Amino acid sequence: IYSLVGFKESDAMVFLSSPITAKILEVERYTSNQDRFNNTVQRSVNKVPVSLFTSSLKHGEFTWEVKKKEKHFVELHRDLRAYKFLFFFQMEFIDVSQLSFIHDLGPKGLEGMVLKRSGGHRFPGLNCCGRSKICYHWSKRWLVVKDSFLMYMKPDSGAISFVMLFDKEFSVKLDSKETETKHGLRINSLSRSLVLKCSSYRHARWWGQAIEAFSQKHGAAFLTDHRQLYTGCVCVCVCVCVCVCVYLHKLHKNKSTRPLTLSVAIEWFSFFFTLVSEKANEPSGDFVFFYCFWQTDLLVKCPCVSVSGSRSVRSLHTGVGDLFGDTRFWHGKDYCNFVHKDWIQLDKPFDDFIDRHKTPRMPWHDIASVVHGKAARDVARHFIQRWNFTKLVKPKYRSLSFPYLLPKSHLTAGELRYQVPNCTTAKVQILRSASDWSAGIKYHEESIHNAYVHAIENSQHFIYIENQFFISCAENKLVYNKIGDTIAERIKKAYREGAKYRVYVVTPLLPGFEGDINTGGGSAIQAVMHFNYRTMNKGEHSIISQLRAEMGDQWMNYISFTGLRTHADLEGTLVTELIYVHSKMLIADDNTVIIGSANINDRSMLGKRDSEVAVIVEDSETVDAVMDGQPYRAGKFALQLRLECFRMILGANTDPSIDVSDPISELFYKETWMATCARNASIYQKVFRCLPSSDVRNISELEGFLAKPGLAREDPARAQEELKKIRGFLVQFPLQFMSEQNLLPPIGCKEAMVPMEVWT
C-alpha cells in the first residue's frame, strides 16, 4: 500500500483473481433540478427523466454498491471501444482503486472522484486566514472510505494525500450553510473539518448517507465516547536488571527478550516505540505482555569475572538468577550511572564515559508491555495518528519517502498467525495522553490519568504502584493531577469505615539527574525531590499531611513509601547503589493492572503536555487466592504479576519462608513488608552510610554524616556478614532527607530560569 502508482498506469494492481459479479438492485427515475424549477423555458412533454441505477457488485470477499446514471454506461461503452487496453475507465465506473481489495484494510466502502477544499485542520498554521472563496483552492482527489478511516489520493500519482481517522466527533453535514459551498459535503472529526464538492445535491446526499451508514455499521466502536475493552490473551514475564558492576552486555538470543533490549545510545527510545515495533513484528495474535528488559532467570548473582587478567567483579546479592558468558558484560554506555554522570556523546555508543573501576553501574528496574490483536491495532492507530500529523506539519517529512500510514481493520485482528505460549485471557484497553501539539486533535485526551483515578477510587483492598516519579496532590497552582489526592481520599474512606486497605508505593530513592548527592545534589535533582516530597510528606497538600490531619500516626497502617537498593563487590571494594525504578505500573486488588509510559506527574497525566501511551488490563480469568486471610478470587494475570514483583523485591525467590500471597494481612504488611524494608535500610546505612538518609535533614548535618565512615571502610569482613542479612532489594524511602532544606532551585542558577512546570 506504500508503493502506489498513478491510476492510469498499466502496472496499477487492483483486482483479485476472482471475477466480479454485478446485480442491479434498483432503478430510480427523476427530473433534473434545472428542468423542474426552470419556469422561463417551456419543458418538452416528451422529456425523458434521468435514470439512476443502483448496482451491487461482488469481488472475492468484498461486496459494495455503486450508483450510476444511464449516461455513465454509455460513456464506459464508448471509452472501452476507443481504449481497449486501459482499465482506468472500468475502475472509475465501478468505484475501485489500488486500496479497494486489501484484506487487512477491511471491507470495501464508498469510493470515487471528488473535489476537496484546502484547510479545515484543527491546529493553527494550516488553515485559511479568511472565509472568502478566494482563500481556498479546490483539488481533484479520489476518496476512499474504510471501516475506521477515510482518505483521499492524488489520481495522477496514486499517492495518499490525507488520512482522517474516525473518532467520537466524526459526523457528516450536507446543507450549504454547513459546507459553505454548492453541492457540498462537510466531514468533521477531532483532527479536521473536511469539505468536499460533489456534482449535484443528489450526489452529495448519497455520499453523505453512504459514509454515515458505512461508518456506523463497521466503525461504531470508534464513534462513541465510552470505555472499550477487548478480550484477549496475556503473557507474563517479569524481569529486572540489578547487577551493579558487570562491564559489558550483549543481546540475549532468546526471541522473547530481544525486542525489549534497550540501547542507551538512543536516549529517546521509548516504551511507546517498543509497543509499536512489536505491533509491526507480530501483526496477529491476542495480547502479550513482557516485563522489563531481560528474563529474570538470566540475571544477577554475577560470578567472579576476570577481565584482562586483573579486574574482577563479584555480586554479593543473590536471588534474581545467574549471568553466563557475554551476558555478564555491558558495552560502552550501557555501563552508566545517571546521578554520577549523565550520558554524553550518544553517537559513540561503545565509548566509556565513567570509570568502571570506581563507579558502580546504576541498576535499572522496568516494566513494559507488548500487545497484539485489537489492542495492538489501537496502539498502532495512535502511532499512525501521530505519524500522519507530524508528516502534515513538518515540511521535511512531506516527501513521499515518509508516506501516510493506514490503520489495519479490527475485523482481521483475530486471525492468529502466532500466539505466545502460556497466555491468559483478560480485558484490555489502550490509554493515552494526547493533544493538539502531539496528535493534532481538537480536545486533549487524558485517559491514563482518568484510568489511574478510577482504579484507585474503585479499589477495595490495595493498590501497588511502581513509578519513576511521584508528583501529585493538586493545589491548582503548580500541580494539577489528582492521583495523590485520590489515594488520600481512598485511605480516609477506609479509615472511616474501619476497613483494611494498603497502598504500596515504590519509586527511585533519587531522581535520575546528574548531581553530586554528597553535596546535596544538583539543582535539577533537588527540584524533582522537592515535588516528590511535597507529594509524600512535605507541606499541607501532601498525602501524609492530609492523612495525619484526620487519623494522626495511623496513616502508617495504610501506606508505605519505599525504594530499591542493591550492593556488590567492585574490584575488592564493597559498593552500593540504588536501583533506578523506571517502571510505570499500578496493580489494584489483584485484578486490575495499568502499565505504560506515563509517570505520575502533570507532564504525563494531564494530556496537554507529554505524549504517553498505556494499557489497562482487567482480568476475566480468576484463580483462588487469599485476601486478609479470607478466600479470594483474584485475576490470573494481575495476581501472577504482583507475586513476581513481590517475590523479587522482598527476596522470596531465595527465602521460601517469605509468604507474599496475602497482600493486606497484618502479618505480611508489618512483619514482612515493613520489617524487610526497615531492616534492609538499616543495614545499608550501617555498612555504607549511603545517601539519601533520613538522618540528614539539612546541609550542615550532611557534612557530619559523611565524615563518619561505615563498616565497609572500617571493617569489611564484618560488613560482609551484615550484608548477608539483606533480603531482596526493598528499603524504606528516606522521608526526612533534606526536610529542613529548601530544595527549589536557588535564584541565579539555570534551573531557576525555566518555568516551574518543567519539574512537575
118-137: string of b/e by CB count within 10 Å (b at 16+)? eebbbbeeebeeeeeeeebe
Longest CA–CA span in the chain (Å) reads 116
What are the tens digits of pLDDT across the range 220-256?
Answer: 989 887 665 666 555 544 445 555 543 323 333 333 3
Per-residue pLDDT at 282: 39
Q: Distance from first CA to last CA of the chain, Å, rounded?
A: 42
Q: Band of the pLDDT at 284, cuts 50, 70, 90?
A: very low
**Contact status, residue 643 vs residue 618, Cβ threshold 8 Å:** no
Q: How far apart are CA 110 and CA 204, in angstroms?
A: 12
Which fold does the domain 20-123+134-223 belong to in CATH? Answer: PH-domain like (2.30.29)
Kindly tell me if the per-residue pLDDT of 67 is higher than 80: yes
Q: Which of 545 and 177 is assigned the larger pLDDT?
A: 545
Most confident region among 121-135, 233-247, 581-595 by mean pLDDT:
581-595
Q: How far apart are CA 271 and CA 338, in angstroms?
A: 19
Per-residue pLDDT at 356: 87
Kindly tell me if the per-residue pLDDT of 28 is higher than 50: yes
553-563: string of b/e by CB count within 10 Å (b at 16+)? eebebbbbbbb
**Amino acid identity at 124:** P
Q: How far apart are CA 729 and CA 747, in angstroms?
A: 38
Most confident region among 21-35, 280-294, 593-607 by mean pLDDT:
593-607
Q: Where are the domains of the chain?
A: 20-123+134-223
Q: Which of 593 and 270 is assigned the larger pLDDT?
A: 593
What are the tens digits of pLDDT across the range 552-566?
Answer: 999 999 999 999 999
Q: How far apart are CA 524 and CA 515, in angstroms?
A: 8
Kindly tell me if the per-residue pLDDT of 86 is higher than 80: no
Q: Which residues neighbour 521 within 8 Å (Cβ) at sequence distance 6 or greater?
A: 339, 510, 515, 529
What are the tens digits of pLDDT across the range 493-549?
Answer: 999 999 999 999 999 999 988 888 777 667 889 999 999 999 999 999 999 999 999
Kindly tell me if the per-residue pLDDT of 634 is higher than 60: yes
What are the tens digits of pLDDT across the range 470-496?
Answer: 999 988 789 999 999 999 999 999 999
Kindly tell me if the per-residue pLDDT of 267 is higher than 50: no
- Do you know the residue count of the chain? 760
Give the residue from 689, 676, 750, 687 showing the smallest Cα distance to 722: 687
Kindly tell me if the per-residue pLDDT of 568 is higher than 50: yes
Per-residue pLDDT at 303: 30
Q: Which residues neighbour 618 within 8 Å (Cβ) at sequence distance 6 or greater?
A: 229, 426, 427, 428, 591, 592, 635
Q: How far apart are CA 220 and CA 224, in angstroms?
A: 7
Question: What share of the chain has pLDDT > 70, as a percent?
Answer: 81
624's grid cell: 483462588
Rounded mean pLDDT of 190-209?
A: 90
Rounded mean pLDDT of 381-388?
A: 95
190-222: string of b/e by CB count within 10 Å (b at 16+)? bbbbbbbbbeeebbbebbbebbeebbeebbeeb
**Contact status, residue 299 vs residue 240, Cβ threshold 8 Å:** yes
Q: Which of 676 and 261 is assigned the larger pLDDT?
A: 676
Q: Band of the pLDDT at 264, cuts 50, 70, 90?
A: very low
Per-residue pLDDT at 226: 63
Per-residue pLDDT at 328: 56
- Report the predicted TM-score, pTM, of the whole model to 2 decimal places: 0.85
Q: Which of 189-203, 292-306, 338-352 has the lowest mean pLDDT?
A: 292-306
Mean pLDDT of the chain: 82
